[in-house]
Amino acid sequence: SEAMLKKSEMLSAVGQLAAGIAHEIRNPLTSLKGFLQLMMQSNTYNKEYTEVMFSEFNRLELIISEFLVLARPQAVAFKEMQVERILEDVNVLLSTQAILKNIDLQLEYAGNLPTVYCNEKELKQLFINMIKNAMEAMESEGSINISAHMETGGYLLVKVTDQGKGIPKEQLEKMGEPFFTTKEKGTGLGLMISQKIIDNHKGTLTFLSEVGVGTTVEMRFPIS
């Protein structure tokens, strides 16, 4: 969590982020331009080229949609809410994907949890990011446990525990850096956005992980 904090401080350097975005967007654009030029020169339609172009467009779309979360207007979006309602919505949203991967999503919370002053859209995005990462970390069937309960000290603790491949120590410090990913089709933006959302809520984010056993993500939100 200390490493994550440092990362979020570093990220306030807008210039660094902008450079990263520019870089990530330039690569697919260069490739799109190249294939288009090839087709223009030969004056013929090429199926393979257009397939590559299509996947480059998809990548651009994904990168841009992840960044839009940061650009959303913030005013009046905060209200007192029951976080478990948001978790229930996210659970429904991700249930089909979970079934397809043979993953059992278990949601548990002790009744009558206090409300949290929060931005519903942002928390939805945060939980989706974390549960998706949990699902992607699991190579075979298993379960993901999502829980919410009160903690002494005035925090609501939301935990996502997976039975995935875990996170090696040397990788922990890179997590949350923009564009850091270990996935072939990853963007490496989910955790950076998630850390930003948690900061907006004055909360904390902690990873507990054991390689080969699984990972627990702990998200703490102050109770008003």
Q: Cβ contacts of residue 33 below 8 Å, gap of 6+?
A: none
Residue numbers 54-93 binding Mg ion by CB under 5 A: none
The pair of structure tokens assigned to 48 is 């393979």
Does residue 195 interact with Mg ion by CB under 5 A?
A: no
Does residue 214 interact with Mg ion by CB under 5 A?
A: no
Residue type, 4: M
E strand residue ranges, 64-120: 78-81, 103-109, 116-119
The Cα 193–Cα 206 span in angstroms is 15
- Contact pattern from residue 131 through residue 160 relative to Mg ion, giving x for each residue in contact according to CB under 5 A and a dash for the rest: --x---------------------------
The 3-state DSSP class for residue 27 equals helix
Nearer to ligand ADP, 50 or 171 (CB): 171
Does residue 215 interact with Mg ion by CB under 5 A?
A: no
Instruction: Classify residue 115 by its DSSP letter.
Output: P
**Min dist. Cβ of residue 178 to Mg ion (A):** 12
3-state helix, strand, coil split of the chain in percent (to 5) is 50, 20, 25
Does residue 188 interact with ligand ADP by CB under 6 A?
A: yes
Does residue 144 interact with ligand ADP by CB under 6 A?
A: no
**Min dist. Cβ of residue 164 to ligand ADP (A):** 5
Q: Which does 175 bind (CB under 5 to 8 A by kind): ligand ADP, Mg ion, none?
A: ligand ADP
Nearer to Mg ion, 117 or 179 (CB): 179
Q: Which long-range contacts (CB under 8 A, 24 or more apart) does 204-207 make?
A: 204/1, 205/1, 205/4, 206/1, 206/4, 207/1, 207/4, 207/167, 207/172, 207/175
The single residue among 164, 218, 220, 221 that binds ligand ADP, judged by CB under 6 A, is 164
Looking at 32-40, 91-99, 129-137, 146-154, which segment touches Mg ion (CB under 5 A)?
A: 129-137
| Residues making contact with Mg ion (CB under 5 A) | 133, 190
| Residues making contact with ligand ADP (CB under 6 A) | 129, 133-134, 137, 162, 164-165, 167, 175, 180-183, 186-191, 215
